[in-house]
Amino acid sequence: MAGTGPTTIGRKPATTVAGAAPTGTLERAIAHGRGLLERAPALAAEQAREILRVVPASAEALLLLGLALAALGRIEEAVPPLREAARRNPESYETWRALADQLVLTGDNAGADFAFAQQLRCQATDPVLQAGALALCRNEIPFAERALKQYLKQHPTDIAAIRMLAEVAGRIGRNRDAISLLSRAVELAPSFEPARFNLATVLYRMGESGQALEQLEALLAIAPHNSAYRNLAAAALGRIGEVDKAIEHYDFLVKRHPGASKIWLSYGHSLKTVGRQADSIAAYRRCIALEPGFGEAWWSLANLKTVSLGPDDVAAMEHALATVAELGNEDRYHLHFAIGKALEDMGEAERAFAAYATANALRRTELDYDADVVTALVDRSIATVTPAFLAGLEGGGHPALDPIFIIGMPRAGSTLVEQILASHPLIEGTQELPEMMVIARRLGAEKPGSAYPATIPAGEKLAALGREYIEETRIQRKLGRARYIDKMPNNWQHVALIHLALPNARIIDARRHPLGCCFSNFKQHFARGQGFAYDLVTMGRYYADYVRLMDHVDRVLPGRVHRVFYERMVTDTEAEVRALLDYVGVEFDPACLRFHENSRPVRTASSEQVRRPINRDGMEQWYNFAPFLGPLREALGPALTEYPYLEA
């Protein structure tokens, strides 16, 4: 048996049943293949295939093939043999773990969770623990919880049981409990990698990316080449604005897994964020070449606002819609959004609008958006936030001067305002931060029948909310500048909370012509949130509610909010920039007029646009679609007719 090539099993003896091989020979062949995994995975794969030619039913050979393909970075090819190995030997802990790792990298989180549960089941030896693990695999959560809690009463330090109970907590949304349990498991066994990785995953899902990275750094110190660890680390780094470090991980991952379309997609997103447009285009194109029906990759390419797709691209997308059998709803609406953008760039307004309408209709099937909830919040806010209410809570907030909030509708020029401000040496741009909305949600902002904003507390509790916001957003601040920007547009619903909790913060309302702004939202697919944006009528209502509340704020807090009209910023840039900086309280700096030279990471859909000098493109894009916007006009009502800059 040569040490440098695959071991062959040889011809079956005449006495061997078809498809079988002498046990000793098979074991030696598997062992040899295992020995090749680290130093020569291609030879290990060849060895596994040779074994499978003789013993097609060998679960060990299937596992070897899957591990070898994974080591070669061929994730999509590794999954089928691993699935088959698990089917043939469902008691193999190693097989389920290998399958779970590969499914994580393909983005199949549901499949990974199932494989992970099976992995836990295989770990269990005690009958009670086995029963709990089996119930977890069958998603029989109440039984699994009872069995595991019963077991832990007798065995409180059993790490496998703690880890399983954490999985139960995660399945039913008790993520804090999951974090506590997994932290305990890591405390008991610091070298137990699976529990630490589970902990990092839950922390990431909970938005605690800094803490997730602490766990991932410990894991990567042990296993620096582990792709699952690096993939999650890259995602967490991106969340806290460390995009260059995220790209280092993606550089490694795409080299190791050149056929992993979802990793190429994430790589493209990061490259776009730092302004490497040519590289991001190449990454998106690579993703499409690997998976022609991958709608999000097509949309990501189209969503580079400075890139135009052509007739060949439209034909390729339409072909994918017509021929790719496994195409899901998400791929379909992404493709229709991308086709709409391509047709718009080609000047075919009617066909483009039809594509956008189809995309939005498909997206709406996945949403549970109720326009009445926002209207009710605005009505409540207008009734509650009176001069007397504000006076009763005045003086209770946190005195920090640091935050600058940019609020309003998405696609209203907020990224432009952010880029202008972030070009000032005293101001740092971050991203759309969720912390204020998290605080508002805790006060009942999204709860049916809630009295919010009447639930905003007074005194020290109010100061604590402001302090919480400052502390929770600190991780986003990298440059040591005195001021920083939070451009979460939806914070317009919480201006009273911002004003009271952070009375020295600045609040800027970025506003754009209702038809131009709303149509820009209608043709945009958002990665998350913005459920109002997929229907012209609900969008018109949302915009009108936003204007109603901001008008009320102007009455009860005159001058508190500085408004930037996009049209005025475009036509009289320097005067508007000077007024903006004066409101913020910093000296004028000419760099703010050269905002397009700022190379800072930008994460929004306007990332490419704000890297060009200011222009009128955004003011005029909707004109060709005016005949189709009747329902939007009607829903907007006075918000349209009273807008001071009527374009058409």
Which 3-state string (H, E, C) describes 82-107?
HHHHHHHCCCCHHHHHHHHHHHHHHC
Q: What is the pLDDT of residues 309-366, one digit of tens each?
A: 999 999 999 999 999 878 999 999 999 999 999 999 999 999 999 999 999 999 999 9
The residue written with tokens 């039984």 in the block is: 143
What is the C-alpha to C-alpha distance for residues 41 and 109, in angstroms, rounded to an integer? 26
Contacts (Cβ under 8 Å, ≥6 apart) of 268? 280, 281, 283, 284, 287, 297, 300
Q: Tokens in use for 346?
A: 């080609």
**pLDDT, mean of residues 44-63:** 91
Confidence of residue 533 (pLDDT cuts 50, 70, 90): very high
Angle ∠(424,425,428) on CA atoms, nearest 5: 75
Q: Given this model, what pLDDT does residue 508 score?
A: 98
Cis peptide, bond prior to residue 453, ω within 30 of zero: yes
536-575 burial: b if 16+ Cβ within 10 Å, else e:
bebbbbbbbbbbbbbebbeebbeeebbebbbbbbbeebee
Q: What is the mean pLDDT of residues 223-249?
A: 93
Q: Which residues 6+ apart lie within 8 Å of 244 measured at CB?
A: 274
Looking at this protein, which amino acid is placed at residue 5? Answer: G
> HEC states along 271-289?
HHHCCCHHHHHHHHHHHHH
Distance CA 174, CA 208 (A): 15
Domains of the chain, each with CATH number or no CATH: 30-189 (1.25.40.10), 391-641 (3.40.50.300)
Q: Which two tokens stand for residue 410?
A: 């998405």
Q: Which of 334, 260, 322 is nearest to 291 (CA)?
A: 260
Q: What is the pLDDT of residues 573-620, one digit of tens each?
A: 999 999 999 999 999 999 999 888 766 565 555 555 555 666 666 677
Predicted confidence at residue 529, as pLDDT, reads 80
pLDDT of residue 248 exceeding 80: yes
| Angle in degrees, CA 198, 200, 203, rounded to 5 | 110
Residue (of 87, 79, 4, 6) closest to 48 by Cα position: 6
pLDDT tier for residue 12 given thresholds of 50, 70 and 90: very low
Q: Which of the four pLDDT bands, split at 50, 70 and 90, describes residue 621?
A: confident
One-letter amino acid at 170 equals: G
Contact of 466 with 398, CB cutoff 8 Å: yes
pTM assigned to the model:
0.80
pLDDT of residue 616: 64
Identify the three-state secondary structure at position 444. coil
Cα separations in angstroms, 613 against 160, 419, 559, 594: 58, 11, 30, 8
CA 335, 339, 341: angle at the middle one, nearest 5? 120
How many C-beta atoms lie closer than 10 Å to residue 310's C-beta? 10
CB 492 within 8 A of CB 427: no
Give me the DSSP letters along 168-218. HHHHTT-HHHHHHHHHHHHHH-TT-HHHHHHHHHHHHHTT-HHHHHHHHHH
Q: What DSSP assignment string belongs to 566-588?
A: HHHHHHSHHHHHHHHHHHHT---
Query: 403 pairs with which residues across the strands?
Result: 484
CA gap 445, 531 in Å, rounded: 16
**Exposure b/e, 362-374, CB count within 10 A at least 16 = b:** bbeeeeeeebeeb
Tally of CB atoms within 10 A around 209: 23
